[in-house]
Amino acid sequence: MGQKYHAKLVNASEIIKKAHQNKYAVGHFNINNLEWTKALLEAAQEKKTPIILGASKGAIKYMGGYNLVVVIVNSLLDSLNITVPVALHLDHGQSVESCKIAIDAGFSSVMYDGSHHPFAENLKNTKEVVEYAKPNDVSVEAEIGTIGGEEDGCSVGTGEIGDPKEAAEMVETGIDFIAVGIGNIHGPYPTGWPGLNFQALEDIQDAAKIGIVLHGGSGIPQEQVKKAISLGVSKINVNTELQIAFVAAIRKYIEEGKDKPENGKGFDPRKLLKPGYEAIKATFDELISWFGCKGKG
């Protein structure tokens, strides 16, 4: 018998550097359960596309903890024979300790989000995370400014625009990519949203000269996404868009009565969740076409 292929998580540094140099963006897709993770990994492999799987504090708790998330992802890498680059990223780590726990559990990338602290404290804590991450071959994302909207049901800011000088200082800590506030928000975009601040993005890119992360990627018009990528955005975070597609597909299945006992075993959760599963894959395919990363794996 041949030796079994063992897939390995990679840190996101080289994935993002390549995207930054070649003017495309890699998708960071949040996972919420087994179906979510399996659908995204299958879709990435089918489309030969690198992917960053993101796990927020709330999702990690829901899925059973840091260690279990790592086991699920690593097991799927092997059982699905995944060969494209895959990073497992802690999304919005709110403390240095949470980043260290994720690194110890086997995450290959972490975000320290110190945007709720004064900049000096954010900088100091980010440096501590970088010093812990690098010996473990883990990439680090930091944040300046704030991203508006909600993350895991909690308000995470009103949308403060990032300061280019702060971006330059943050890069000096040794981070691999940086999240910035440029008018983007988490969750659905409201009517009357003014759009992304491209001048701020240009100024921050000139100062940082590394890949920029666009949080709140769900719902930003395609032309704005493409312009942001041309100006240095190399990682785009998506969660809400997949959730909406997942729920809409399952709602349709139920409204058509396919879950009723008289219609066979449509109530089996494997059948009930399948339309949502397929919707995640379809949405992934559409978004990576926008981002320009399809086939880059």
- Catalytic residue list: 91
Residues, the chain, total?
A: 297
Q: Which residues pair with 180 in a beta bridge?
A: 144
Tell me how far CA of residue 40 lies from CA of 7, 32, 111, 155, in angstroms.
16, 11, 20, 27
Element (H, E) at 92: strand 86-93
Helix-strand-coil split of the chain, %, nearest 5: 45, 15, 35
CB 260 within 8 A of CB 15: no
Alpha-carbon distance of 108 to 93, in angstroms, equals 14
Classify residue 188 by its DSSP letter: S
Q: Which residues contact 174 (CB under 8 A, 6 or more apart)?
A: 127, 130, 134, 140
Token pair of 125 as six digits: 């804590």
